[in-house]
């Protein structure tokens, strides 16, 4: 069902919505956007939020309206969707490996500034060749691994790779970046989070200074995570922060204390569909509603009930969620569930309902899904 067809639901109570439905609480969303913008200003860095959390043009516009300098994307579909929606300053923080990604880079670069992240010469060479063939240049950033152990060159190798990137026709080395996602993994100890995020920011700044000492111009030094948003960007020399999850919040962030429970704007409205087993109660928020991305805090949940009655969605089948620990419920009762991972959940849905005081204010399409 398209958003246009569902427009008659605007102005109705959320209790009239089909389930499962994704709800975005507007006052909380606005508060989150303003708070993170304040964090960025206090750290004296530009804010470029990661759009994969919302994939909604309306949310991106709110973030830019609050002072963000641009948006960050991960997938080719997200980059295309952002440019189609009129956004003109995008950081594609993902190596564009494969012909389809290079085609996306070429198409979107005609209409917007698209910075591109790279972590290897193998990924850079086809992009450079395509740029030369089209008579254009791509601004690129070199990804540095500051502790997550995912993508990114080792800090000791950054200078060698950066030198060669800077000499490639068709590419302009704009800066360095990292995703300090390992801050999430240190848990709820705020001192460990602070020290881990600070160490990541310092390492990235040290890499940037090494490249500058070699004669390379490196204006951009970009860090990015919600868990590290109050540590890594505070390091002198960092120029940009790219948190994403903060805008909606989720259980993973609540569990470690980086997002307050009251600052989670996203919930899933779900119906009780069976009480035959007593416990677990079955609800219609399974993995196709919640995603199967389990909690990072070790208890296996995929969501936490935040409405009256409480409980955890401990297991999910495709259309069945297994609710444990709730007060007595009956078939047809409605619950609201805070997801473990907002970004994964967003990608499961074609639209979200923007709500205020329990009433649907707007319906936003989810763009750039894949």
Q: 153-195, pLDDT tens digit by residue?
A: 999 999 999 999 999 999 999 999 999 999 999 999 999 999 9
3-state secondary structure of 225: coil
Which of 247, 277, 298 is a domain's end point?
Answer: 247
Is 254 among the domain residues? no
Model pTM?
0.96
Is 179 among the domain residues? yes
Distance between CA atoms of residues 79 and 104, nearest Å: 8
User: Cα 363 to chain center, whole Å?
Assistant: 20
Distance between CA atoms of residues 158 and 175, nearest Å: 11
Decide if pLDDT at 75 tops 90.
Answer: yes
Is 56 among the domain residues? yes
Number of structural domains (the chain) is: 2
Residue 176 and residue 162 share a domain: yes
Is 211 among the domain residues? yes
| Confidence at 295, pLDDT banded by 50, 70, 90 | low
Residue 49 and residue 38 share a domain: yes
pLDDT at position 293 is 78
Residue 136 and residue 265 share a domain: no
Tokens of 85: 């929606």
Q: Which of 250, 345, 252 is nearest to 298 (CA)?
A: 252
Distance between CA atoms of residues 370 and 368, nearest Å: 7
Domain at 336, CATH number = 2.40.37.20
Residue 359 and residue 338 share a domain: yes
Is 357 among the domain residues? yes
Residue 360 and residue 303 share a domain: yes
Distance between CA atoms of residues 227 and 224, nearest Å: 9
Residue 33 and residue 135 share a domain: yes
* Beta carbons within 8 Å of 368's beta carbon, 6+ residues apart: 51, 55, 73, 75, 77, 78, 79, 80, 81, 82
Cβ neighbour number for residue 72 with a 10 Å cutoff? 28
pLDDT at position 6 is 83
* C-alpha pair distances (Å), 340 with each of 171, 251, 289, 296: 39, 4, 12, 8
Q: Across the chain, what does the average pLDDT equal?
A: 96
Cβ burial, residue 57 (10 Å; 0-12/13-18/19+): buried
Residue 191 and residue 68 share a domain: yes
* Beta carbons within 8 Å of 8's beta carbon, 6+ residues apart: none
Domain at 113, CATH number = 3.20.20.10
Decide if pLDDT at 198 tops 70.
Answer: yes
Rounded to the nearest 10 degrees, how much is the dihedral formed by the CA atoms of 357, 360, 366, 367?
-110
pLDDT at position 173 is 98
Q: Are 14 and 360 in contact (CB under 8 A)?
A: yes
In total, the chain counts a number of residues equal to 370
* Beta carbons within 8 Å of 18's beta carbon, 6+ residues apart: none
301 vs 250, which has greater pLDDT? 250
Domain that holds residue 10: 5-23+259-365
Residue 167 and residue 100 share a domain: yes
Beta bridge pairs of residue 240: 46, 222
Is 252 among the domain residues? no
| Confidence at 301, pLDDT banded by 50, 70, 90 | confident
Residue 320 and residue 281 share a domain: yes
pLDDT at position 370 is 82
Tokens of 171: 């590419």
Residue 110 and residue 51 share a domain: yes
| Confidence at 300, pLDDT banded by 50, 70, 90 | low
Which of 222, 247, 272 is a domain's end point?
Answer: 247
pLDDT at position 360 is 98
Is 112 among the domain residues? yes
Distance between CA atoms of residues 41 and 38, nearest Å: 5
Residue 212 and residue 92 share a domain: yes
Is 161 among the domain residues? yes
Which of 200, 224, 247 is a domain's end point?
Answer: 247
Give the pLDDT confidence of 223-253 residue by residue, as tens digits.
999 999 999 999 999 999 999 999 999 999 9
299 vs 234, which has greater pLDDT? 234
User: Cα 352 to chain center, whole Å?
Assistant: 16
Q: Which of 76, 168, 156 is nearest to 122 (CA)?
A: 168
Residue 118 and residue 39 share a domain: yes
């Amino acid at each position: 069902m398209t958003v246009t067809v569902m427009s008659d639901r605007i102005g109705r109570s959320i209790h009239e919505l089909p389930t499962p439905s994704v709800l975005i609480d507007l006052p909380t969303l606005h508060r989150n956007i303003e708070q993170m913008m304040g964090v960025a200003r206090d750290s004296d860095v530009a804010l470029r939020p990661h759009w994969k959390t919302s994939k909604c043009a309306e949310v991106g516009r709110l973030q830019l309206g609050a002072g963000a300098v641009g948006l960050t994307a991960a997938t080719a579909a997200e980059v295309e969707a952002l440019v189609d929606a009129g956004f003109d300053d995008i950081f594609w923080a993902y190596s564009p490996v494969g012909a389809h990604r290079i085609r996306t880079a070429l198409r979107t670069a005609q209409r917007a500034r698209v910075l591109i992240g790279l972590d290897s010469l193998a990924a850079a060479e086809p992009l450079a060749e395509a740029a030369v063939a089209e008579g254009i240049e791509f601004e690129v950033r070199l990804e540095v691994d500051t502790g997550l152990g995912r993508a990114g060159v080792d800090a000791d190798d950054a200078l060698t790779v950066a030198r060669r990137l800077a000499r490639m026709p068709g590419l302009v080395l704009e800066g360095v970046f990292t995703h300090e996602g390992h801050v999430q993994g240190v848990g709820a100890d705020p001192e460990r989070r602070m020290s881990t995020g600070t160490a990541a920011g310092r390492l990235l700044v040290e890499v940037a200074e090494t490249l500058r000492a070699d004669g390379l111009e490196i204006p951009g030094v970009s860090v990015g995570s919600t868990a590290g948003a109050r540590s890594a960007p505070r390091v002198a020399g960092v120029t940009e922060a790219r948190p994403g999850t903060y805008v909606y919040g989720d259980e993973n962030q609540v569990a470690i204390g980086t997002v307050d429970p009251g600052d989670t704007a996203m919930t899933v409205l779900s119906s009780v569909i069976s009480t035959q087993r007593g416990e677990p109660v079955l609800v219609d928020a399974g993995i196709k509603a919640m995603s199967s991305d389990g909690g990072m805090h070790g208890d296996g949940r995929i969501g936490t009930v935040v409405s009256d009655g409480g409980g955890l969605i401990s297991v999910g089948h495709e259309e069945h969620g297994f609710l444990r620990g709730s007060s007595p419920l009956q078939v047809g009762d409605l619950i609201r569930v805070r997801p473990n991972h907002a970004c994964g959940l967003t990608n499961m849905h074609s639209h979200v309902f923007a709500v205020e005081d329990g009433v649907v204010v707007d319906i936003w399409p989810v763009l750039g899904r894949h």
